Structure 1
C-alpha cells in the first residue's frame, strides 16, 4: 500500500519543512502556523498572537517544462519570521525579552538551505534551496511593534512515479480515498493513459 506522502509530496514537504524548522525553533519558544496567500490585518493578528512566530506559506508550483508526462519541478515556499518589541533596534538585534529578527533569519537560512527532506516513510523529497531573504513590510499589522522578514526557498517536486520505482503496473492505476469524518467517504480510481 502506498502512503499519502508518496502521492501527495506537497503535504509531505510541508510536514518535513515544519519538522526541520522545529529542530532550530522549538515549539516552547516559537509560534508556528501556515500563512494563507492573502492574509489581511485581522488574519495576521490572529496568526501572530504569539511571538516570536514562524509562518510557512506555499508560494506555488513551477513545473519543469522538460519533465514530459510526469509532473516535476520546484515547489516554492515563503517563511515569514516575526518578532515584536516596542524598540525598533531591539526588534532586529534582540534583547533578553525577544530574539533578534536578524538572527532568526540567519538561523532559518542555515536550517533550510542544503537540507535533504524526507517523508515520514523515509522517502527522499529532495534538497531545499534558499533563494533569498529580506525585510518585509508590516504596515498596519502589529501597531508598529512588529519586525517581519521572509525567507524564500524551494523544494524539488518529486513525481509520484519516484515512489513506485520497480512497480510500474501499480503506478498505472491509482486509487484515492478521501476520509473526512463529517462527510461520506468516496473512492475514485483512474487509469493513467499509456
Structure 2
C-alpha cells in the first residue's frame, strides 16, 4: 500500500508552504496540533507566539460521490498572539509583533481561493475569536480560522494490488440484519456478483 498520495498526508505540507509565503519561520511557529488543545498543550504552544497551529477537523463527503470520493477536507488554523508591549498590541501589533488583526487578514487572503496543485482549491468557511478555559493571561489572544479544501480521492491511489495489501487494512464489516437485531461481524471474504 502506498500512502504517499493519501489526501491528508499530501495537503498538510502544501498548506504549510502556502502559509510560509507570509509567515516566515524566523518569526512564526507553525505546527500540526489536535483540534482541541488540552490546557497543558496550550501552555506549551503559547510560549511559541506568534503561533499558528494547523488542525485537521474532518472530511465532508459530497453525497453525490460515486466510486471516487469527492469531498471537502476541513481544517482549522489556531492563531495565538501574546502582547509584547501594550495590551492593544495583541490586536494591532507593534514593532515586534504583527498582532491578531493582521494575522487573520493575511491568513484569509492566503487561503481563500488558493489552488493546491494536484489536490484542489480552498475556501475560508469562518473565523472567530476564542478563549481558552482556565487561561487568564490578558496579554494573550486566540483566534480560529476554518477553511476547507475540495478534493477527489480514489482507492486506486493507494495501489492496493495483492490480497495482503487488502488484509493490511484490517476492515471489519458490520451487518445490521442479524436475527438478533444487532450488528454482527460478516465474513472477511466478499464474492462479487459477476
- TM-score bracket for this pair, using the shorter chain length: 0.7 to 0.9
**Are 1:189 and 2:189 an aligned pair?**
no
Q: TM-score, normalised to structure 2's length? A: 0.77
**Shift of residue 88 of structure 1?**
2.8
**Shift of residue 38 of structure 1?**
2.7
Alignment match, 2:160 = 174
**Alpha-carbon distance in 2 for matches of 1:66, 1:15:** 29
**Alpha-carbon distance in 2 for matches of 1:144, 1:25:** 24
**Alpha-carbon distance in 2 for matches of 1:107, 1:139:** 27
Alignment match, 2:174 = none
- Name the CA shift for 1:145/1:61 in 2 (closer, same or farther; >3 Å): same
**Shift of residue 162 of structure 1?**
8.3
Alignment match, 1:133 = 127
Q: TM-score, normalised to structure 1's length? A: 0.77
Q: In proportion to residue count, which structure has more helix? A: 1
Alignment match, 2:185 = none
Alignment match, 2:101 = 102
Give the RMSD, CA atoms, in angstroms. 2.6
CA offset digits 1:84-136 (Å, max 9, x no partner): 01633210011112211100100001111111113xxxxx1001101111211
Identify unmatched segments of 5+ residues in structure 1: 119-123, 164-170, 177-186
Number of residue pairs aligned between Structure 1 and Structure 2: 169
Q: 28, 31, 38: which is aligned to 1:30?
A: 28
**Are 1:87 and 2:86 an aligned pair?**
yes
